[in-house]
């Protein structure tokens, strides 16, 4: 069996399906831009996108998609040794992290870490966003050490 | 306005039944549930025709991409009523987390208001073929698009993020947790209907357990099982005529503090803040405090919940749960071990906690009966999003 055959047989990671709330996020991600919703009334940022601003409850809600710097700090993590999604089995062990973005307290993104050794994992580790191919034209944010 | 629960002591548990807890049941789940309900009603000294109210929280957490069929993967109270072919005065389903707590709360309010006289609360749990949370999805829609494309899937991985943050913030280690898991299994190994009957665990076995989502190992998660618990509730007046000592609902609290940002449902800060709010509501509602609880049955389906509940309800300070559980001599919280909890029984979603409260307070706990117990609490799910019911004699 060749390598190509193996990769064709291998299940793929789930591909995100953009919807009314998320289409702009995935469009910007495909351009290499990480963005969150930002309330036009009070400036509060939301991730993942939501219908109503928890900061001010403006009615009607007014959210815009606003890029972030892509910089943040490691808030917590898990080392996945047994993937429940078949498309990630070949990547184990891999690290899934919550990254707190620098724009707002508590604004956290869940994403895989890229090239961060297990012994470097520590709360507060500076990270920066990168994007990997997510299939069907999508790009998925991952985070790498900010100093690398 | 007082936050005290005016129906405290008005509604009682008067009977119960529990099916065997098995990985694969001998009968379809619906059949097992009907049988367990009949046994609970008989245990209460009643005839099925007396039952005029039914409720459950039927949520089944493992989608696996498959449709859910009533009577097979889940058993709603509507399904029970259809099979019995009866017209109950009151029929209600609980939506949300803390399913058994929510069902007991609904039943209590129905009986206290007079909407029903004798209510059956059941909980049916199913272990599907294959891996519990495995999912073959090729595309991720809705809320899943923020987790699955990142390789982030399933409650054990959610808990792992919470647990890492807890460990890092407070200095807890797996050695600390060994006390919780080994203790739960020791109690469960004494319990005839437990999946783990006669199978205690050593600290070394726990510490060498296979990792799923570090720091969560296989043994930090309760084992998926098929089983049914059922309880009969009625008013304090009607309970006096029945064979068993009544155990009264003393009050309750429910958490609804979802994180406003981020993907995982149990971010540590939110669990701590929301959990303390639930604790405040519980103690105000019941007029009790943690020092007055003889049988604190904290939730343990994922082992870190034990710390988080003990801290949320004020049995110990924030960040001290992992130390608090180490000393059985000074830790009343360790009486959660008497029934074994979910770790000691199997994934029965709060039934072990409620059942142990009932058995201890009714004086029906057999070899593990504690002396002089008058109060208990039974928790389910995360403190910030689940529920807790207090019981008294
Ligand atoms: Zn706003």
Per-residue DSSP letters for B31-70? HHHHHHHHHHHHHTT--GGG--EEEE-------TTPPP-B
Check whether A2 has a pLDDT greater than 60: no
Closest in B137, B211, B267 to A14, CB measured: B137
Tell me the three state secondary structure of residue B254: strand
Contact B378, B389 (CB under 8 A): yes
Query: Quick check: A106 and B262 CB within 8 A?
Result: yes
* Residue B256 reports pLDDT greater than 50: yes
Min Cα–Cα distance to chain B from A91, Å: 9
Please check the confidence at residue B324 and state whether its pLDDT lies above 50: yes
Planar angle of CA B286, B289, B295, nearest 5 degrees? 90
Cβ pair A96:B157 closer than 8 A: yes
For B137, the closest chain A residue by CA position comes to A14
pLDDT recorded at residue A3? 45
pLDDT at B152: 96
Where are the extended beta strands (E) located within chain B? 11-18, 53-56, 90-93, 118-125, 139-140, 211-214, 216-217, 227-235, 247-254, 295-297, 375-380, 387-392
B7-128+224-244 matches B155-220+250-393 in fold: yes
How many Å apart are CA B228 and CA B36, to the nearest integer? 7
Chain A CB contacts of B153 under 8 Å are 83-85
Residue A65 scores a pLDDT above 80? yes
Q: Is it the case that residue A114 has pLDDT exceeding 80?
A: yes
More confident residue, B269 or B1: B269
Q: Which residue of B has its CA nearest to A89?
A: B151
Residue B254 CA to ligand 1 centre (angstroms): 27
Q: What is the mean pLDDT of chain B?
A: 93
The answer to whether B165 contacts A82, with C-beta atoms less than 8 Å apart, is no
**pLDDT value, residue B337:** 67
Q: What percent of chain B clears pLDDT 70, i.e. is strictly above it? A: 96
Nearest partner of A121 among A102, A145, A140, A141, judged by Cα: A145
Share of chain B above pLDDT 90, in %: 81
Question: Which has the minimum average pLDDT: B127-131, B198-202, B242-246?
Answer: B127-131
The answer to whether the Cβ–Cβ distance between A110 and B143 falls below 8 Å is no
Distance from CA of A50 to the nearest CA of B (A): 9
Strand-pair partners of A77: A97
Please name the residue of chain B whose CA is at the shortest distance from the CA of residue A136: B139
In chain B, where are the structural domains located? 7-128+224-244, 155-220+250-393
CA distance B277 to chain A (A): 19
Residue B181 pLDDT: 94
Question: What is the DSSP code (8-state) at residue A123?
Answer: T
**Residue B319 burial class via C-beta count within 10 angstroms: exposed 0-12, middle 13-18, buried 19 and up:** middle
Minimal Cβ distance to A110: which of B210, B214, B264: B264
- Residues A98, B264: C-beta atoms closer than 8 Å: yes
User: Are B139 and A47 inside 8 Å of each other by CB?
Assistant: no
pLDDT at B131: 77
Give the DSSP letter of residue B260.
Answer: S
- Report chain A's mean pLDDT, rounded to a whole number: 93
Q: Which CATH superfamily is domain B155-220+250-393 in?
A: Thiolase/Chalcone synthase (3.40.47.10)
pLDDT at B392: 98
Per-residue pLDDT, averaged over B300-318, amounts to 95
- Over residues B60-70, the mean pLDDT reads 75
Lowest-pLDDT range of A112-116, B184-188, B269-273, B328-332: B328-332
Window from A132-141, B64-73, B171-180 with minimum mean pLDDT = B64-73
Higher pLDDT pick, B4 / A10: B4
CA dist A45 → A33, A40, A127, A128, B145 (Å) = 16, 10, 19, 18, 19
Is B142–A19 a contact, with Cβ atoms under 8 angstroms apart? yes
Helix (H, G, I), strand (E, B) or coil at A96: strand
Residue to mutate among B142, B172, B261, with most A CBs inside 10 A, is B261
- Asked if residue A14 lies in contact with residue B144, where contact means CB atoms within 8 angstroms, the answer is yes
Q: Closest-CA residue in chain B for A101?
A: B262
Q: pLDDT-derived band of residue B104, with 50, 70 and 90 as boundaries?
A: very high
Residue to mutate among A76, A88, A108, A130, with most B CBs inside 10 A, is: A76
Q: Rounded mean pLDDT of B277-286?
A: 97
Contact B123, B99 (CB under 8 A): yes
Which of A82, A87, A125 should we substitute to test contact with B (largest number of B Cβ atoms within 10 Å)? A82
- Please check the confidence at residue A93 and state whether its pLDDT lies above 70: yes
Residue B349, C-beta contacts closer than 8 angstroms, at least 6 positions apart: B99, B100, B123, B125, B301, B342, B380
User: Given pLDDT bands bounded at 50, 70 and 90, which one contains residue B331?
Assistant: low
Torsion of CA B340, B345, B346, B350, to 10 degrees: -60
pLDDT of B60 reads 79
Helix, strand or coil for residue B319? coil
Q: In chain A, which residue's Cα lies nearest the Cα of B147?
A: A110
Query: pLDDT of B72-89, one tens digit each?
Result: 999 999 999 999 999 999
| pLDDT higher than 70, residue B329 | no
For B348, list phi and psi in degrees, rounded to 5: -110, 15
Closest to B146 in 3D by CA, of A113, A25, A64: A25
Query: Which residues have C-beta within 8 Å of that of residue B218, sequence separation ≥ 6?
Result: B209, B210, B211, B212
- For residue A99, give how far its alpha carbon lies from the nearest alpha carbon of chain B (Å): 9
Q: Which of B137, B152, B168 sits opposite A123 (nearest CB)?
A: B168
> What is the CATH number assigned to the segment(s) B7-128+224-244?
3.40.47.10
Confidence tier at B68 by pLDDT (50, 70, 90): confident
pLDDT number for residue B56: 96
Residue contact A84–B137, C-beta within 8 A: no
Distance from C-alpha of B141 to C-alpha of B187, rounded to nearest angstrom: 42
Which residues of chain A does B165 touch, with a Cβ-Cβ cutoff of 8 Å?
A: 75-76, 123
- Whether the CA torsion A40, A41, A44, A50 is positive or negative: it is negative
């Amino acid at each position: 069996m060749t390598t190509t055959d193996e990769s064709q047989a291998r299940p793929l990671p789930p591909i995100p399906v953009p919807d009314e709330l998320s289409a702009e996020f995935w469009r910007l991600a495909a351009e290499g831009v990480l963005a969150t919703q930002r309330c036009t009334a009070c400036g509060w940022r939301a991730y993942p996108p939501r219908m109503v601003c928890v900061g001010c409850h403006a009615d009607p809600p007014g959210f815009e998609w606003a890029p972030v710097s892509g910089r943040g700090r490691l808030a917590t993590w898990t080392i996945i040794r047994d993937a429940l999604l078949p498309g990630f089995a070949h990547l184990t062990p891999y690290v899934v992290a919550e990254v707190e973005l620098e724009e707002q307290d508590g604004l956290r993104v869940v994403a895989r870490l890229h090239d961060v050794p297990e012994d470097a994992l520590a709360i507060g580790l500076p990270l920066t966003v990168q994007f990997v191919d997510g299939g069907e034209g999508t790009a998925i944010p991952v985070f790498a050490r900010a100093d690398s | 306005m007082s936050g005290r629960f005016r129906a405290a002591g008005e509604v009682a548990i008067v009977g119960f039944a529990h099916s065997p807890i098995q990985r694969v049941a001998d009968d379809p789940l619906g059949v097992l549930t009907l049988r367990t309900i009949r046994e609970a009603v008989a245990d209460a000294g009643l005839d099925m025709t007396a039952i005029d109210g039914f409720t459950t929280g039927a949520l089944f957490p493992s989608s696996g991409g498959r449709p859910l069929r009533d009577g097979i993967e889940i058993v709603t109270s509507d399904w029970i009523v259809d099979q019995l072919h009866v017209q109950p005065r009151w029929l209600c389903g609980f939506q949300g987390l803390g399913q058994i707590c929510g069902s007991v709360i609904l039943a209590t309010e129905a009986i206290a208001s007079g909407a029903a006289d004798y209510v059956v609360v059941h909980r049916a749990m199913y272990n599907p073929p294959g891996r519990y949370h495995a999912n073959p999805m090729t595309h991720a829609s809705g809320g899943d698009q923020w987790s699955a494309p990142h390789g982030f899937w399933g409650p054990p991985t959610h808990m792992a993020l919470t647990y890492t943050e807890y460990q890092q913030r407070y200095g807890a280690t797996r050695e600390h947790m060994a006390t919780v898991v080994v203790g739960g299994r020791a109690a469960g190994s004494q319990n005839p209907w437990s999946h783990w009957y006669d199978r205690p665990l050593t600290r070394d076995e726990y510490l060498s357990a296979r990792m799923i989502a570090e720091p969560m190992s296989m043994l930090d998660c309760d084992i998926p099982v098929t089983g049914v618990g059922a309880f009969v509730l009625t008013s304090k007046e009607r309970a006096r005529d029945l064979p068993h000592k009544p155990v009264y609902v003393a009050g309750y609290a429910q958490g609804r503090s979802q994180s406003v940002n981020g993907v995982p449902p149990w971010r540590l800060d939110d669990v701590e803040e929301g959990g303390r709010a639930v604790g405040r509501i519980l103690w105000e509602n019941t007029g009790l405090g943690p020092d007055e609880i003889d049988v604190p049955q904290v939730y343990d389906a994922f082992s870190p919940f034990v710390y988080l509940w003990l801290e949320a309800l004020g049995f110990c300070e924030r960040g001290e749960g992992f130390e608090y559980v180490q000393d059985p001599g000074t830790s009343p919280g360790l009486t959660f071990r008497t029934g074994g909890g979910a770790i000691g029984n199997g994934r029965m979603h709060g039934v072990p906690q409620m059942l142990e409260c009932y058995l201890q307070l009714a004086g029906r706990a057999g070899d593990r009966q504690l002396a002089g117990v008058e109060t208990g609490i039974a928790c389910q799910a995360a403190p910030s999003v689940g529920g807790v019911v207090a019981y008294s004699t």
